[in-house]
Amino acid sequence: MVELRSASRAIEVIGVPLDLGQQRRGVDMGPSALRVAGLAGKLEALGLTVRDRGNVPVPGAEMMDRGDAKARFLVQIARCDKTVAQWVDAALARQATPVVLGGDHSLAAGSIAGVASHFRAQQKAIGLIWIDAHTDINTPDTSASGNVHGMPLAALLGLGPAALSDLLDWSPKVSAAQTVLVGIRDIDAIERDNVRRTGVTVFTMRDIDEKGLRTVMERAIEIASSGTAGYHVSMDMDWVDPEEAPGVGTPVPGGATYREAHLAMEILADHGGMLGLDIVEVNPILDEHNRTAELAVQLICSAFGKKIL
């Protein structure tokens, strides 16, 4: 395994109140919920320098044409993701680690494009650790819903849709050989073919049950680190069991426990190879007293080195 840099002690928070990738309203308030839960102050208490860049502009769904039913609002999402990519690239250029707050998971096509573009300019590849209940490797041809939040990983791997795959005029943004999915437990039937075709490494919840989370995370880090500048982590809060994180749009029973979720982040912090972090799909309308946002903030702190002792 190559030696990786430690995560920067400077963090730039980027809000992306994007709700166009799915059909349950409220996820656009996710960045605000995370801020209300005290994200900046809790990171600063760890000795980090935090700068909040505010929110990327996102138009309201009611004011726009939905476009093709196979990929609703694709044009608008791609436009937003291009801006996200530019903000993320700029944060890295300032020697800061970008922490991107969602918003739905379609924003990851932009955040990861930004990280990949920054290191591509240095002739380096990046790895990707995708922590989620879902694989998000649908395309417009395989998606039963037409929800673009189920397509960002397909786009990053170069499968399309082209409006997202070709962001910043190059593709793919990540290699399947250095992409790892963790926590998977809900895959569309047709989507399985896409997953197998890409060759990404997938650790399902069964793998976590059988092998243990430490073994899974250490293997994920090894794969994502091999031959790369480091790895981006994109975490959908629905990877956590809905008993602990009820405020998500697509809850699936049988997810990570509270301690498993923290352990995953703690292992990432111990390794020190994280280049950027997404926290997505926090929906305050569906939440209970901001529990999910508060847990998300705690997990971000664990990812940046907060320890029990």
Q: What is the count of structural domains for the chain?
A: 1
Look up 118 and say whether it is catalytic.
no
Instruction: List the structure tokens of 293.
Output: 């946002």
> Does residue 264 lie in a domain region?
yes
Q: Which is catalytic among the residues 28, 186, 236, 266?
A: 236
Active site residue 132: yes
Q: Is 278 a catalytic residue?
A: no
Three-class DSSP category at 71: coil
- Cα 167 to Cα 134: distance, rounded to the nearest angstrom: 23
Active-site residue, from 81, 191, 238, 266:
238
The radius of gyration computed from the CA coordinates of the chain, to the nearest angstrom, equals 17
Rounded Cα gap, residues 57 and 42, in angstroms: 26
The residue annotated as part of the active site, out of 136, 186, 188, 260, is: 136
Residue span of the structural domain in which 260 resides: 10-303
Catalytic site includes residue 149? yes
Annotated catalytic residue within 81, 104, 134, 260: 134
52 belongs to a structural domain: yes
* Residue 5 in domain: no
- CA separation for the pair 173, 228 (Å, rounded): 13
In a domain, 170, yes or no: yes
Q: Is 243 part of any domain?
A: yes
Q: Look at residue 61 in the predicted model and tell me its pLDDT.
A: 67
**pLDDT of 4:** 38
Catalytic residue among 81, 104, 132, 278: 132
3 found inside a domain? no
Distance CA 298, CA 307 (A): 11
- Say how far apart CA 37 and CA 57 lie, in whole Å: 22
Residue 23: its pLDDT value, please?
Answer: 81
Residue 59 placed within a domain: yes
For residue 193, count other CB atoms closer than 10 A to its CB: 12
Residue 280 near residue 136, CB atoms below 8 Å: no
Among residues 19, 186, 281, 287, the one annotated as catalytic is 281
Instruction: Indicate which residue of 105, 118, 262, 271 is catalytic.
Output: 105
**Which one from 149, 232, 262, 271 is the annotated catalytic residue?**
149
- pTM, full prediction: 0.95
134 catalytic per annotation = yes
289 is catalytic: no
C-alpha distances in angstroms, 23 versus 63, 153, 232? 15, 19, 27
261, with CB counted inside 10 A (0-12, 13-18, 19+), is buried
Identify whether 23 is part of a domain. Answer: yes
- Here the CATH number for the domain that contains residue 132 is 3.40.800.10
pLDDT score of 62: 65
Is 19 a residue of the active site?
no
As a whole number of angstroms, the distance between CA 163 and CA 15 comes to 22
Sequence-distant (6+) residues with CB within 8 A of 123 are none
Q: Which residue has the tokens 């280049």?
A: 275
Q: How far apart are CA 139 and CA 130, in angstroms?
A: 17
Determine the Cα–Cα distance for residues 213 and 211; give it in Å rounded to an integer.
7
Each of the 309 residues of the chain gets a pLDDT tens digit; together they read: 333 344 568 999 999 999 998 888 899 999 999 999 999 999 999 999 999 999 999 987 666 677 677 878 999 999 999 999 999 999 999 999 999 999 999 999 999 999 999 999 999 999 999 999 999 999 998 898 988 999 999 999 999 899 999 999 999 999 999 999 999 999 988 899 999 999 999 999 999 999 999 999 999 999 999 999 999 999 999 999 999 999 999 999 999 999 999 999 999 999 999 999 999 999 999 999 999 999 999 999 999 999 988
- How far apart are alpha carbons 121 and 113 in whole angstroms? 12
CB-count burial class (<10 Å; 0-12, 13-18, 19+) for 273 = buried
Q: What is the pLDDT of residue 65?
A: 72
Identity at 158, one-letter amino acid code: G
